[in-house]
Structure formats: C-alpha cells, structure tokens
Structure 1
Amino acid sequence: MDDGASRKNHEDAAAGHTPPPPPEPSAAEKTQPTSEGIDTSPSRRSDQPLRLDSETWDIESISPMAALRMLIGALQDLADTMGDVPPTPPVSRPTTPRMGAENQPRRTSSPTLNGSMSIGSPEAHAHEPTYIEHDTATEDDFLQRTAIARRFFSKTAPSFDVRDYLLRVHRFCPHSSGVYLAAAAYCHRLCVADLLVPATDRTVHRLSLAAIRVAAKALEDNKWTQDRMAGVGGVSKRQLMNLEVSLCFLLDFDLGVDGKSLARRMFLLQQAGRHGLGAQSKLDGGFRLKLPLRRRVNTVA
C-alpha cells in the first residue's frame, strides 16, 4: 500500500514534473557573478600579496593568506629600516617577596602546540604596570608610556623571523583577511603614525601577535581560545593578556575600522617599510615614544 509521499511522486511524474535535485553543500561556496559581472567568491581571491602604489585598492580581491603576507612583508621591511631600538629602563617598584617562593618551580614557557615557537622572555617584568592611572597624581607620562611599550620588547630577538612566526600562527589559528588588515592598521598607528612602539626584530613578534588577537576579538564572532592562541604564539596566557591590554591602551581603545581605513593603513605601512619614516631612516636614535595624555573628567552627579 503506497503512502502519501509515494502517491504524490507518481502524480508529479504523471503530470510531467520532476522533483528538484538534492542539495549540494559544495554549491553553497560557489557564488554567481554580480550585476557588474564581478565574482567575489573566496575561491577567486588571489593568494599573491599586493605591492600597493595607492591607498585606493580592493580589499575584497585578496585571500587571508595574501593579507597575511602583506602584513609580514610590511613589518619585516619596517624592522629592517628601523634597526634596533633598545627599550628604556624598567619602571617598577620593589615587591614584597613571598615566603617559600624561592623553593617553588619557575614556569619558563607557555603550553605548546606541536613544538610552539617560543618568542623568549619579555623585557618587562611581570610586576611592571600595564595600565595608565587617570588621576592628577599620575606619574610623568614618559614613565607611563614606557611601562606599556616595554611589554612588546623581547630580551633578545627570536631565532626565527616574523614570516615563519606568523605563518605558523596562521597554520594553527587561521584568521580572515579583515583581521590581518586590521592588525596592519593597528601596527601602522603604533609604529609609524603615533611612534608609540618601534617595529624592530625584538618587538614585531609580540606586536603582531597582539594586533591579530585584538583584531579578531574586535571583528569576529568566533575566536580561537586563549589557551590555543597563547600556545601557538609561544607566550603564556598572562603574557598574551598583558599584550592585548597594552595594545588597547596605546590605541586609546579606538579599535574601529572600515574598508577605506584598512586599505589606506596597509598602503601606508608598506610605504613606511620601503622608504623609512621620512627623514628618520634608521631612526638615528631619534625614536621617541609618545602617548597622548588622558585625564579623568570629573562629572557632577
């Protein structure tokens, strides 16, 4: 005895109608040309990095790998141009030692993932501040910005370059093109526009890791866990958190980006790497950290 569905199929066949084909999951990834005849499918985006000659370019034309390679190339060129900029002395206060602390094992590395590339010990001590006080009794602003900028310095340059480092991060924690372009925008503001953190072989690893992490949190809904990102990046969870907080403070928590600003910042970052910071090529010892003063605004209830 036929059920209702079989009876309906027989009726459709008799009437000359055929049921629609079964859905194909792979077909969802195939996009059709738009009204302008442009195919914006992710599979059509180029993996080749662009060498920009204008701040007006199509950010939708590149794949995440291409965006990452553009970030890597710009940072490496900028680090080669700047040379080495030593950090200033630490801004810290003596801490009260804990009883028995000398007998406790010291943790020297973060959790690893398939042989993580450790980027070494930070120049800043764990007890150095990562925040800015906002009252009238705050210390000199130079000391405040020094405490924050030192977070991005490694004691020694890692044995691998930023290219190998970020390609590994992308292998285990891939991100979208927008995240890498936003990270480039953050790096341009800190290293070039505002001269807050110099891009050197001792800073670009921590700086790029923090920029990618903050960009992912600002732009994407789904993010890699803190444990995984820290393990792949070769830092501890606490170090990664301190880097994120430091970067957000130096950016004044202004993390918003749009397509036009992403295209412009990437172009300017490439330009800075190619030609140096104007007359400050090799810096000539002229890199001076600066941080805009922020004061608490007292409100009347």
Structure 2
Amino acid sequence: MAAVTQTATMSMPQDTNSTTNTNPAPTMLKLSSSPINLLCDQPADDPDSPTPAVFDISPETALQLLCLNIERLGAYFAQKPVGADELHAHAASPRGCDSPSAEGQLEVKAVGLHVKDSDEPANPARASEEAIQMAILSKKFLSKKVPPVSLMEYLLRLHRFCPMSTAVYLAASVYISKMTLVENILRVLPKNMHRLVLAGIWVASKALEDLCYPHSRVAKVGGVSTQELSKLEISFCFLADFELRVDAQMLMNEALRYKSPLE
C-alpha cells in the first residue's frame, strides 16, 4: 500500500482506448462532517412506512456511509476480544484450526469453498480445511503497516479518479458487513480496511455495472500493482462465497446501518 501516500491531487492519465465513462472527474470533494440525513427516517422494518428511494442517495453520501460503516466495524472489532469460535485474518496461527473441535466447544464456521448438499452430514476434516483456506484468503488484505492516509482520504481519492455509483459503494459495504458480522470470517483492522474497501468497490462495480474502469487505472489509483489487485479481487470473491447479488432493500438497509448497533 506504499502508493497510497501520494496526494489526491495527482493527475491521472486517461485511457483513450477504454469504453468506460470519460466524464471529467470532480476537482475536489468536500463531504459534510455533520450527521448524515437520509431521505427516510422511518424504521426499515415498518411495513406501513413508504419504501425509501435508495437511488436518490447521492454517490458522495453513499461513499460517506461506506466509510462510516467500515470505521464503525474497525472500532467494534478493536474492542471485541477474539473468541475461540472465530476465525480471523490476524490470527497467530491459522493451523490452529487443524484439529476438529472437541466436544462442547464451538465449531469453526466454514463458508462454502466446497459445494455440498445441504443434507450431507458435517465433515470435520472439510470444515477444518475450509477454515484454513478462509484464514489464508483473509490475510491477503493485511498491509505490513497501517497506511498513512485515513480511510476517508483514500475513498475520496478513489472517487475522484474512478467515481462509482451509489449502488457500488453501498454494495461494497453490504459485502464487508456480511463477511464480518454474519459469516464471521474476518475482522476489520487498520491494516486491512483500505484493501478491503478497494477490493469491495472493484468487485461491486463488476457485479453491478455494465462498464467499468480499466484494471490498471483502478490499481494505480488504489496504490497497488495490477497483480495485487487481481489477487485481492479473487480473494474477496471467495470470502463473499460469490454471493454478490443485492437488491434495493439490501442497499437501503446498509445505508441505515449506522443508526443501529453492530451486535
């Protein structure tokens, strides 16, 4: 992540052979530091409330929501001790999952690198193998040092040179929230949050948009090599179990996540 130390004012070359959106990028974004005011304050689970229009949220606000949600996850995991039932990217030894769980202990949660019939009995050896694979994939997002730029500065740089849509930013947040809070396969840390959001945005743009920026451009803006971006993209897809479909309600729920506790 060494290249992320470059300032957000550097000029980026245009790829004249690309069919992507060539609209000029904004010169600078200034996001409000005040509490985010979305279009609908009714509870998301209220059946009588009007359906909020998630796509009326501006990309800039969606970017701010993504940053807020990831930083909240980072603060949440910083205060949460590592439990015996959790598999995390920063675990001292992923090989600790090699032996099956003893009776009465919590089992390692495995997430589908291998497709199996739902009626097939649990296989401790396969669960252990999948747990190790998840740990290896999760560690690919760790930087050697905490990047010197804040997550918001990093996201602003990405949005300046490779602006994405509201759906892409919220979908990236959906993916990461699911990995961390639902599947429990990694933690958001200061050393991995920049690479996680880069991979999440890149994967979401490919899953949701008809056109996307050149791979080399996104890698340069994100401060990684093209080879590294490919590895992050593949690892992210496996961690997400290739479940990348989202709908408007999922996106709105994610937009409103900042109003709810993370438990």
Q: TM tier, shorter chain?
A: 0.5 to 0.7
Cα distance between partner residues in 1 of 2:198 and 2:42: 27
**Aligned in 2, Cα 1:50/1:245: closer, same or farther, shift over 3 Å?**
farther
Name the % identity.
34
Amino acid at match of 1:50: N
- Corresponding residue for residue 159 of structure 1: 148
- Please point out which of 228, 232, 248 is paired with 1:239: 228
Residue pair 2:195, 2:232 contacting (<8 A) in 1 also: yes
Deviation per CA, 1:96-138: give whole Å up to 9, x if none. xxxxxxxxxxxxxxxxxxxxxxxxxxxxxxxxxxx95679986
For residue 189 of structure 2, what is the aligned residue in structure 1? 200
Contact 2:70–2:193, Cα closer than 8 Å, also in 1: yes
Which residue identity does 2:62 align to in structure 1? A
- Counterpart of 1:83 in 2: which secondary structure? helix
Contact kept? 2:77, 2:189, Cα under 8 Å: yes
Where in structure 1 are there 5+ consecutive unaligned residues?
A: 1-46, 93-130, 279-301
Q: Which has the larger radius of gyration?
A: 1
Taking a change above 3 Å as real, the CA distance of residues 64 and 89 of structure 1, as seen in their structure-2 partners, is: same
Letter in 1 for 2:90: P
Letter in 1 for 2:168: V
Change (3 A) 1:81 1:226: same
TM-score scaled by length of structure 1: 0.57
Alignment partners' CA distance in 2, 1:222 and 1:141: 33
Task: Give, in whole Å, the separation in 1 of the partners of 2:194 and 2:62.
Answer: 17
Q: Which residue of 2 aligns with 1:61?
A: 56
Which residue does the alignment assign to 1:209?
Answer: 198
What residue number does 1:71 align with? 66
Normalising to structure 2: TM-score of the pair? Answer: 0.64
Question: Residue deviations 1:28-62, cap 9 Å, x none?
Answer: xxxxxxxxxxxxxxxxxxx7643667336321221
Equivalent residue number for residue 168 of structure 1: 157
Q: Is the 8 A contact 2:154 2:194 kept in 1?
A: yes
Give the equivalent residue in structure 2 for 1:227.
Answer: 216
What's the offset of the Cα at 1:271? Answer: 4.5
* 2:18 matched residue in structure 1: none
Moved over 2 A (4+): 47-58, 88-92, 131-142, 265-268
Residues 134 and 57 of structure 1: CA distance in aligned 2, closer, same or farther (over 3 Å): closer
Alpha-carbon distance in 2 for matches of 1:260, 1:249: 24
Alpha-carbon distance between aligned partners in 2 of 1:144 and 1:199, rounded to the nearest angstrom: 18
Please report how far the alpha carbon of residue 264 of structure 1 lies from its aligned counterpart in structure 2 after TM superposition.
1.4
User: Distance between the aligned counterparts of 2:132 and 2:141, measured in 1?
Assistant: 15
Query: Could you tell me how far apart the structure 2 residues matched to 1:162 and 1:220 are?
Result: 24
2:172, 2:204 within 8 Å by CA — same for their partners in 1?
yes
- Pairing partner for 1:188 from 177, 180, 183: 177
Change (3 A) 1:81 1:134: closer
Listed as ranges, the matches of 1:38-117 within 5 Å are 49-50=36-37, 54-55=43-44, 57-83=52-78, 87-89=90-92
Question: Secondary structure of the equivalent of 2:140?
Answer: helix
